Structure 1
Amino acid sequence: MGVIFDRIWFWSRVLLQERQILTSVMEAAYRNWDAAVQIARDYREHPIGRFLYTPLQLKDPEPEVFHLAMESAADDELALMRRGDKILEAVIALSPLLGLLGTVLGLINSLGSISISDLGTASTAGVTLGIGESLISTAVGLVVAIISLAFYRLFQAFFFGQVRIFRKAGSDLEVLYRQKWLESGEETASKASPPFSSSKKS
Structure 2
Amino acid sequence: MTFEELIQKGGPAMWPLLVLSILSLSTIIDRLWFWTNLLIKEKQTVNRVLEAARRDWSIATEMARRTLKQPIGRFLYAPLRLQNPEPEVFKLALEATADDELASMRKGDKLLEGVIALAPMLGLLGTVLGLIGSLGSIRLGDLGTSSTAGVTVGIGEALISTAAGLVVAIFSLVFYRLFQSLLFNQMKVFRKAGNELELLYRQYWQKTSLNQHNSQDKNPYFPPSWMQNSRNVPDALEQDKKQTDFSPESDVEQPPDEPNNN
Could you say which TM-score interval applies, normalised by the shorter chain? Answer: over 0.9
From 127, 133, 155, the counterpart of 2:151: 127
Q: Give the counterpart letter for 1:95 in structure 2.
A: A
Residue segments in structure 1 that go unaligned for 5+ positions in a row = none
Q: Is residue 175 of structure 2 the alignment partner of residue 148 of structure 1?
A: no
Query: Aligned residue pairs: how many?
Result: 202
Task: List aligned pairs for 1:10-159, cutoff 5 A.
Answer: 10-159=34-183
Residue segments in structure 2 that go unaligned for 5+ positions in a row = 1-24, 228-238, 244-262
Indicate the structure with greater helix content. 1
Secondary structure of the residue aligned to 2:150 is: helix
Structure 1's consecutive aligned runs of 4 or more residues displaced over 6 angstroms after TM superposition are none
Question: Cα offset for 1:197?
Answer: 4.2
From 161, 166, 169, the counterpart of 2:193: 169
Secondary structure of the residue aligned to 1:60 is: coil
Secondary structure of the residue aligned to 1:114 is: coil
For the aligned residues, what is the CA RMSD?
A: 1.5
TM-score (norm 2): 0.75
Rounded to whole Å, the distance in 2 between the matches of 1:78 and 1:45 is 15
- Larger Rg over CA atoms: 2
Secondary structure of the residue aligned to 1:120 is: coil
Q: Is residue 202 of structure 2 the alignment partner of residue 178 of structure 1?
A: yes
**What do the CA deviations read for 1:61-101 (whole angstroms, capped 9, x no partner)?**
11111111111100000000001101111111111111011
**What do the CA deviations read for 1:148-177 (whole angstroms, capped 9, x no partner)?**
110000000100000000001001100101
Rounded to whole Å, the distance in 2 between the matches of 1:53 and 1:100 is 50
Question: Cα offset for 1:194?
Answer: 3.1
Rounded to whole Å, the distance in 1 between the matches of 2:51 and 2:66 is 15
Secondary structure of the residue aligned to 1:113 is: coil
Q: Percent identity?
A: 59
Rounded to whole Å, the distance in 1 between the matches of 2:43 and 2:89 is 26
Secondary structure of the residue aligned to 1:64 is: helix
Question: Cα offset for 1:122?
Answer: 1.3
**What do the CA deviations read for 1:16-70 (whole angstroms, capped 9, x no partner)?**
1001101110111111111110100000000000000001100101111111111
Rounded to whole Å, the distance in 2 between the matches of 1:10 and 1:113 is 52
